[in-house]
Amino acid sequence: MTGQMEWPAYMAFCGGYSFDVHKHWDVLGRILGCNTPQTCENAETFDLVIDLGSNFGMVTEELTNRHFAKSYIMVDAAPFAGPDFARRHGNKEWREEWFKQQVPVRMHAQVPEYEFHQFGLTNIPGTIDLCMKFGYGKEPCPVEKASPDAIIPAKLSQDFKTKFHEAQSAFVKIDIEGYDALALQGMTELFSETRGVHADGSDKYLINFMMVEYAPDLMSTAKAEEKLVGDYDLKNMTSLLEAQGFEVFLTGPRYLPLTHGSWDDKYSSWFNPLKPGSTAPQCPKGSMYPWWQEHACPGATCDCAFATDLFVMRATHPKAAEIKVALGACTESKEFDRADPQYDMSEAAQS
């Protein structure tokens, strides 16, 4: 993170953020999915995707393009999310036409089914009004807060309750503007759902893989809004996930491990927001990366509003080691090896 060229690549849209996120989707598809369609009954990698903070369905659409799951559960508190869903994913004619025109053909693939629920996701009861918070329209639009455990499967339609109970695998995506850790605290029942055992006799959990947003400024805001006492930061989030049996990785060119002996308290001071109006040294406007400042400022990426995604994987999954290697979480990528004489840092910074 101290190299002139490395850390900027982890700063979300300053680097190759979309490519880095897509990497774990594609790795999971390759390792867990169907690589020989002629012999597979299912074209999809997972039975179910649970999209918490679905917004209008951007991530759901990208996952559908990869034949990622047979069915999708979408949850969001935004007032526009429900009407958007009704026009698009909830409209049978729209999704069949979209699937036919936009999704690459794959043998045995099926048009996914979708279900939307409007809730504010947290483990703290009450209501949340995103119209007042973000200025959507002129009228209040409070919605009920609920934990993922309270919604799934209890609030699902009968059809999706059946899909949930029959699902053998589920992928979870969480992006809820700083409330992500609160949602994770309200998912312990979902995390404990099992579907038999693996060949080695270990429990076969329903949820083994997740993508969770980490945005320190938004977490700080959520902590103030909910009047939380105590830690509510990256360390708190990763400790919670590790206690539930997961490994956590920072998304980037290499997926950096944050748990199972890899945590360092320096991460807390590195990521956590400073006082309002101050500039963190690791940001483009900061003092740590003069090369970055020269190339990013002035401009939209000059301001530092760090947000990224964490890849979360159950530590006991039989394919865990293979997936970590594929994501570069175990060995240094030679493409960025600073010891390689062909990779001259001083020349790279000048080019």
Angle at 328 between CA 325 and CA 332, to 5 degrees: 110
Tell me, rounded to whole angstroms, the distance of Cα 118 from its chain centroid: 19
Contact in structure between 125 and 147 (CB atoms under 8 Å):
no
Nearest to residue 152, comparing CAs of 179, 181, 191? Answer: 191
Preceding amide of 153 cis, omega within 30: yes
pLDDT digits (tens, 9 = 90+) for 42-82: 889 999 999 999 999 999 999 999 999 999 999 999 999 99
- The gap from C-alpha 25 to its chain's centroid, in whole angstroms, comes to 10
DSSP state of 125: -
- DSSP codes joined into one string, 76-90: ---TTHHHHHHHTTT
Find which of 13-22, 134-143, 313-322 is predicted with most confidence, using mean pLDDT.
313-322
Better-scored residue on pLDDT, 339 or 198: 198
Q: Classify 286 in phi/psi space as left (phi over 0), alpha (psi -120 to 50) or beta.
A: beta
Percent of the chain topping pLDDT 70? 88
Rounded to an integer, what is the distance from CA 138 to the centroid of its chain?
Answer: 31
Query: Could you tell me what percentage of the chain is helix, strand and coil, using 3-state DSSP and rounding each to the nearest 5?
Result: 35, 15, 45
Residue 183 banded pLDDT, cuts 50, 70, 90? very high
Tokens of 138: 């002129």
- Sheet of 127-128: strands edge to edge? 120-121, 143-146, 127-128
Answer whether 52's CB lies under 8 Å from 175's CB. Answer: yes
273 and 220 Cβ atoms separated by less than 8 Å = yes
pLDDT band at 331; cut points 50, 70, 90: low
Q: Is the pLDDT of residue 135 over 70?
A: yes
Rounded Cα distance, 96 and 110, in Å: 10
* pLDDT tens-place string over residues 271-281: 776 666 667 77
Q: Report phi then psi at 55, rounded to 5.
A: 55, -135
Residue 285 pLDDT: 79
pLDDT higher than 80, residue 11 = no
Residue recorded with tokens 């579907």: 195
Q: Where are the domains positioned within the chain? A: 16-284+306-344
User: Two tokens at 113?
Assistant: 């089914």
User: pLDDT at residue 334 above 60?
Assistant: no
Residue 340 pLDDT grade (very low, low, confident, very high; cuts 50, 70, 90): low
Query: For the whole model, what pTM was predicted?
Result: 0.89
Reported as a pLDDT band with limits 50, 70 and 90, residue 90 is very high
Name 310's Cβ contacts closer than 8 Å, sequence gap at least 6.
211, 212, 213, 214, 237, 238, 248, 249, 250, 251, 258
Residue with tokens 């390689």: 340
Mean pLDDT in residue range 92-111: 90
Instruction: Give the Å distances, CA to CA, from 118 to 80, 156, 281.
Output: 10, 11, 39
- Phi and psi torsions of 50, nearest 5°: -110, 105
pLDDT digits (tens, 9 = 90+) for 265-309: 888 878 776 666 667 777 787 778 888 888 888 877 777 677 889
Interatomic CA distance for residues 16 and 65, integer angstroms: 20
For residue 87, the model assigns a pLDDT of 95
Distance between CA atoms of 338 and 319, rounded to whole angstroms? 29
Q: Which residue has the tokens 């959990």?
A: 205
What CATH number was assigned to the domain covering residues 16-284+306-344?
3.40.50.150
